[in-house]
Structure 1
Amino acid sequence: MKNLNSIFNIHQIKLLILFSLSILFFSFNTIAQPKTIKADVIIYGGTSTAIASAVQLSRMHKSVIIVCPEKHIGGLSASGLGFTDIGNKVVIGGISKEFYQRVYNHYQNDDVWKWQAKNEYGNEGQGTTAIDDVAKTMWTFEPHVAEQIFEDFIKQNKIKIYRDKWLDRENGVELVNGAIKSITMLTGEKFEGKIFIDAGYEGDLMAAAGVKYHVGREANSVYNETWNGVQKGVFHHSHNFGNLNISPYVIPGDPTSGVLPRISTAAPGEQGSGDHQIQAYNYRLCTTNAKGNIVPFEKPKDYDPAQYELLRRVFTSGRTNMFGGGNIPNNKRDVNNVGPFSSDNIGMNYDYPEASYAKRKEILKEHISYHKGLLYFWGHDESVPERLRDNINKWGLSKDEFVDNGHWPYQIYVREARRMVGDFVMTENEILGKHKVNEPIGMGSYTMDSHNVQRYITPEGYVQNEGDLGVDANQPYQIHLGTIIPKKEQCKNLIVPSAVSSSHIAFGSIRMEPVFMILGQSAGTIAGLALDKKMDIHDLPFGELSKRLIADKQVLSYIKP
């Protein structure tokens, strides 16, 4: 009997072990399986474009999810670019205009003017009045105000958002019969939708889906343009060395002594030719001189004054302009690049569009180090005139901005990365009114603006910048539907409202934040109507799309007064 009990106990123990192992195996498999999250529309990116798309879809009663690498949403609008590049404000409508109306409403409250009296704030905007009491819009704002407005949009429209989620760019896009079925993040979450929107500045989802795109400048011959490609000797702004005749060599005039840092020794290319180089990036700092809100500019750990020898020679030549930008509320300034050697880190971003996440991180780190070193140089190097050193040392980063990021902007200014080659390619011919746009989904009006692309050595042996252009459109222009939709044979259910289908120089006008929000809303409308009608986005009748856009206060045409 005792032996039988022992055998029975052993049998029970074996069963218990097997049961426990099966539970563990089941649990392991359950945990290992990627979580699948579904919605009608999946938006990748946390930019202003993404928010506008999501808000429009929510208002059309569609389920929508934003999944984005960013922890802080709003893109450049919430990351330092508070002195808005506007153009003609009359053509900014819909959700884009609503954003600027919310900015206006915020600053009507006297309590938000903590570092400056409201009546002391000037009314200078980017080509217009900053505060428009008639249209109840305001075009200048602090970064944290913009971010809060975007967060309000998310909350009020009950939009689900998954932050700090990075697309698996190698294996994370599942395509079935020419359409995206799902996208998977590096953390394993899978997002499944009927339509997808790539709202990132880089166009990562577009590229991973196999959609055709371009990086760099096209030759003028490609689209019969004048202002694309290499533009040696074309100086539309002050961001060049002009006739200063500054030597690029360590020992001035001696090529055998080596070349100073941040000057390319490569030939700049033939005039009007294409290349794979992109316009310079920088950070749009939010600075202040308001006592009690200043964080002094710091000396980076890897500071090397030799990196700024070229700037030292600029100062010696008598040129002293180095930073620009515009005034924003509360004694703050949105600081941008000015002059031949400034915050634009020319030539150091060429790899960024196609780079891995790790490589991009290295590029960003180098840009931050360069920018911080530049600020320190300006405030402390003896080559800088004393009056300028004294002035910059009264300024610093704003203590109440980017508080969890060392008061440094969350995002670099990705002025240009990948650009889709879609159903329609916008060129300077459409911007300048030479070619008609038959299917408009929004309008732009800003100057075709490109920052410098390269810094090279001229045949005469001097340093020069190239690529900085500013070509005005005669009047606001229409943006074609095909600029945000890939060719159908490449992808049936993807919309790309940020990395739009355009030439380099045309993108220089389209890439402004108000326009990105306009295109974001139009992208959401296309997706919403396609879902309503149960048809592919490419088959949507333009007449019905146009009718809905106009009903939602998008501006599709302009009559010159």
Structure 2
Amino acid sequence: MRIQPIVIALLFAGITATALPAAEFDVVIYGGTSAAVTAAVEAKQSGKSVVVVSPDKHLGGLSSGGLGWTDTGNKAVIGGLAREFYHRVWKHYQTPEAWKWQPREEYGGRGQGTPAVDGAQRTMWIFEPHAAESVFEDLIREHKIPMHRDEWLDRENGVKKEGAKITSITTLSGKTYNGQMFIDATYEGDLMAAAGVEYTIGREAKSQYGEQWNGVQTGVLHHKHHFGAVKTPISPYRIPGDPQSGLLPRISPQPPGEYGAADKKIQAYCFRMCLTDDPQNRVPFPKPEGYDPAQYELLVRIFNAGWRETFNKFDPIPNHKTDTNNHGPMSTDNIGYNYDYPEASYERRREIIAEHETYQKGWLYFIAHDPRVPKEVQQEMQQWGLAEDEFVDNGHWPHQIYVREARRMVGDFVITENELLNKPPIPDSVGMGSYGMDSHNVQRYVTPDGHVQNEGDIGRSTRGPYQIAYRALVPKRGQCDNLLVPVCVSSSHIAFGSIRMEPVFMILGQSTATAAVMAIDEGLTVQDVSAVKLQKELLKRGQVLEIPAE
């Protein structure tokens, strides 16, 4: 995210830019994510005037921001415009021009247990960032959708309402957008919050919704992103075993909280990096400004204990590139440094993002250059670098940080792990998910026996696909009559750990736009849209609302 200097000056001055004439649209979409694109295309295809007001310059959010190793679960639940996206990706990779650094026949990647390319379904699930962005840009251009980039909602004074109805939103540049319906397609839920809709941040107690995997999860070690994956316990202190010497960097001095208790902490963020080992397209890892090798002392101890899984999540995508994600006890996830991000000012968010970038670039540079890193690990890291032909206007670094969760709406219906696991019939299903409940680590702390440990990483199967209720996409009755929320949906922390996947956001973007169109045509609030009628319209559009139980 980038904010122009003039906007920062206006923020500090406590004023906004001079108001400009308002633009009128049927549907106003705030955000530049994959959900924003599918919502905009659906609204336009349904004959409505629509505008995308995006704080981002690049379209697609994480789908074009490095997350090319798609988290899909059961692909049978992905229909409508979401499947159209993956079909267009497939078409892109049918052209010889798409294979600049690798012969097409050489790439046999597999992702999430299935082939990257599904020839029978004419879909491709693994792709380069620039390929995804080009698909999103094509969709917007082909449908002649107005796209207003680098426009930041005035979160203090920019949302005007008459009663429970939003009438307009205004950005920091002074542009005002009047609309009949509004869709908040941001990862942060800024429009939702500014409109006075109830939301929550952090983890609910296990007892609040009768869940097993919510709240503080001390002692629960899933995946391998914890210190139980290291052969020997590791001391958190600067002088091993000596609490008086102080803690190493990146370890919290605070107790983790009681097992099962609620807190306001959120799972860690990172950048999904696109790396390459092709010398012709490789940019050596830069030494970031503010680099401090002392920040990675804990990593040295992890290596010294024999851990050697640094490259386990260098997942291959086309053209000798990767979607590199977090793996292990101290990896790309910047644990504990994002707690205030959801509610932070734009300027503070920029600081948080910059700190994450410094940490992650420093992690790469440290492994590639510090003499304390095992030689075989260092030599392998030196074979990798940033992909020169990706993120070309941002130093080859992803333009979107991975906001795994921020605000979550609290609607009349809250999706919990019980809905995902028990799967009671959802009469107002408007889409499906199927990926496992997946929360990354929330904190790194000192155990009672004086060792370092991570907490919050949960990975549990949903035991098959589940339905997503329309009621979870709209505010409580009376809070906001004409706002729909396809990303920061009404769900518990651990349920959102499954819902938060990019294909689901695309599905829900289309579904919310379909509901917005119906609300306009029938003169209804979003809460009063008939689920039965909505489902009929969604099925016409190829959405998948139910499949036989596994």
Choose which of 264, 268, 274 in structure 2 pairs with 1:276: 264
In the TM superposition, residue 110 of structure 1 has moved relative to its aligned partner by 1.8
SS of 2:394 mapped into structure 1 = coil
Q: Which of the numbers 391, 399, 417 marks the counterpart of 1:410?
A: 399
Partner residue, 2:212: 226
Q: Quote the residue 2:162 is aligned against.
A: 176
Measured after TM superposition, the shift of residue 423 of structure 1 is 2.4
1:434, CA displacement in angstroms?
4.7
1:119 to 2:70 alignment: no
Counterpart in the other structure of 2:486: 497
Alignment partner, residue 474 of structure 2? 485
| Secondary structure of 2:246's aligned partner | strand
Indicate the SS of the match to 2:468. Answer: strand
Q: Distance in 1 between matches of 2:310 and 2:166?
A: 46
TM-superposed CA distance for 1:34, in Å, is: 2.2
Please show how residues 157-556 of structure 1 align to structure 2 within 5 Å.
157-242=143-228, 244-323=232-311, 324-556=313-545
* 2:135 paired with 1:149: yes
- Deviation at residue 33 of structure 1 after TM alignment: 4.1
- What is the CA–CA distance in structure 2 between the aligned matches of 1:39 and 1:248, rounded to whole Å? 56
Alignment of 1:21-60 (within 5 A): 32-60=18-46
User: For structure 1, which segment, 70-79 or 430-439, has the greater mean C-alpha deviation from structure 2 after superposition?
Assistant: 430-439
Q: Given that residues 91 and 555 in structure 1 are in contact (C-alpha distance below 8 angstroms), is that contact kept between their aligned partners in structure 2?
A: yes
Contact 2:19 2:175 survives alignment (8 Å): no
Per-residue deviation, residues 390-425 of structure 1 (Å, max 9, x unmatched): 111111000000000000000000000000001210
CA deviations on 1:161-202 (whole Å, 9 max, x unpaired) are 100000000111101111101011001001110010000000
Deviation at 1:127, TM superposition (A): 2.4
Find the aligned partners of 1:149 and 1:142 in 2 and give their Cα distance: 11
| Alignment partners' CA distance in 2, 1:218 and 1:303 | 36
Unaligned runs of 5+ in 1: 1-30
1:325 deviates by 4.0
2:12 corresponds to which residue? Answer: none
- Give 4+ residue runs of structure 1 displaced > 6 Å after superposition: none
Deviation for aligned residue 1:32: 4.4
CA contact 2:70–2:111 (8 Å) conserved in 1: yes
- For residues 5-154 of structure 1, the aligned pairs below 5 Å read 32-154=18-140
Per-residue Cα deviation, 1:507-533 (whole angstroms, up to 9, x for no partner): 000000000000000011000111121
Unaligned runs of 5+ in 2: 1-16
Task: Give me the whole-angstrom Cα distance separating, in 2, the residues matched to 1:434 and 1:184.
Answer: 41
Whichever residue aligns with residue 380 of structure 1, its letter is H
Question: In structure 1, how many angstroms separate the alpha carbons of the residues matched to 2:371 and 2:279?
Answer: 26
The answer to whether the Cα contact below 8 Å between 1:325 and 1:337 also exists between their aligned partners in 2 is no
Where 1:103 maps in the other structure, the secondary structure is helix
Contact conserved, 1:281 with 1:414, CA < 8 A, in 2?
yes
Distance 1:427 1:453 in 2: 19
Q: Deviations over 1:49-103 (max 9, x none)?
A: 0000000001100000000100011000000000000100001000000000000
Q: Is the 8 A contact 1:86 1:127 kept in 2?
A: no
- The answer to whether the Cα contact below 8 Å between 2:423 and 2:467 also exists between their aligned partners in 1 is no
Provide the rounded CA distance (Å) in 1 between the counterparts of 2:371 and 2:278. 26
> 1:12 — aligned with what?
none
TM-score using structure 1 length: 0.94
Task: Tell me which amino acid in the other structure corresponds to 2:260.
Answer: G
> What is the rounded CA distance, in whole Å, between the counterparts of 1:547 and 1:504 in structure 2?
30
For residues 232 and 404 of structure 2, what CA distance do their matches in structure 1 show? 28
- Measure, in 2, the Cα distance between the counterparts of 1:268 and 1:236: 17
Instruction: Classify 1:346/1:407 alpha carbon distance in 2 versus 1 (closer, same or farther; 3 Å).
Output: same
TM-score by length of 2: 0.95
CA distance in 1, matches of 2:499, 2:289: 38
TM-aligned CA distance change 1:254 to 1:105, over 3 Å: same
User: In 1, distance between residues paired with 2:109 and 2:68?
Assistant: 14
CA deviation after TM superposition for structure 1 residue 435, in Å: 3.3
RMSD: 1.0
On the 8 A contact 1:283/1:411 being kept in 2, the answer is yes
Alignment partners' CA distance in 2, 1:408 and 1:300 = 12
Q: Distance in 1 between matches of 2:232 and 2:210?
A: 34
